[in-house]
Amino acid sequence: MTVTTEETLILVKPDGVVRGLTGEILRRIEARGYRLVNIRLVQANRSLLAQHYAEHEGKPFYEPLIEFMQSGPVVAIRVAGNRVIEGCRALAGATDPTAAAPGTIRGDLARDWGLKVQQNLVHGSDSPESAARELALWFG
Ligand code: IDP
Ligand code: MG
């Protein structure tokens, strides 16, 4: 029997790195049983972020998002496991940290700071197509 293992891209955003939450976020991913395949600390440039967030171009939070993501290093993580995309989205919780359920990364560790972009600690790919595209961007 062939087991096809899915992969996803997780980013610890600059707020997570500056608040010293990288270890806690990695702990939650590993505790759930997913496998870390690769990890790198990256100072992202505008070109990379524009490609990563292309779907959001033109939205009111787009420019603040691109600025925020360049405000410090991010930790890019390649994670593997069956249904890892869905599992990591569930671990991360809702986009709006105020609404994110307790027990999730955002629901336990993030809050609304009243800024133009939500600083919600993590990015996780939302589909197999996004994961393939984003992993190619961040890991080549
Ligand atoms: P996701 O990270 O939960 O997949 P997306 O809709 O892909 O959410 O948005 C990308 C990022 O843009 C979010 O994680 C958040 O930082 C920011 N963002 C999304 N929607 C809003 C909004 O309505 N107000 C402020 N920031 C937002
Ligand atoms: Mg998204």
Residue 3: what pLDDT? 65
Strand (E) or helix (H) holding 46: helix 46-52
45 ligand 1 Cβ < 6 A: no
Pocket test for ligand 1, best of 95, 123, 127 (most atoms within 8 A of CB): 95
pLDDT tens per residue across span 32-66: 999 999 999 999 999 999 999 999 999 999 999 99
Q: Which tokens go with 69?
A: 């993501």
Reference 93, options 113, 109, 72; nearest CA is 109
DSSP 3-state of 93: coil
pLDDT tens per residue across span 6-26: 999 999 999 999 999 999 999
98 ligand 1 Cβ < 6 A: no
Q: Which residues lie closer than 8 Å to 47 by C-beta, 6 or more apart?
A: none
Q: For the chain, which domains are there?
A: 6-139 (3.30.70.141)
Average pLDDT value for the chain: 97
pTM above 0.85, yes or no: yes
Residue 6: what pLDDT? 98
Q: How far apart are CA 105 and CA 100, in angstroms?
A: 8
Give the annotated binding-site residues for ATP.
13, 61, 89, 95, 106, 120
Q: Relative to the alpha carbon of 119, which ligand is closest? A: 1
Q: Which tokens go with 52?
A: 């990563």
Neighbour tally for 24: CB within 10 Å? 15
104 ligand 1 Cβ < 6 A: no
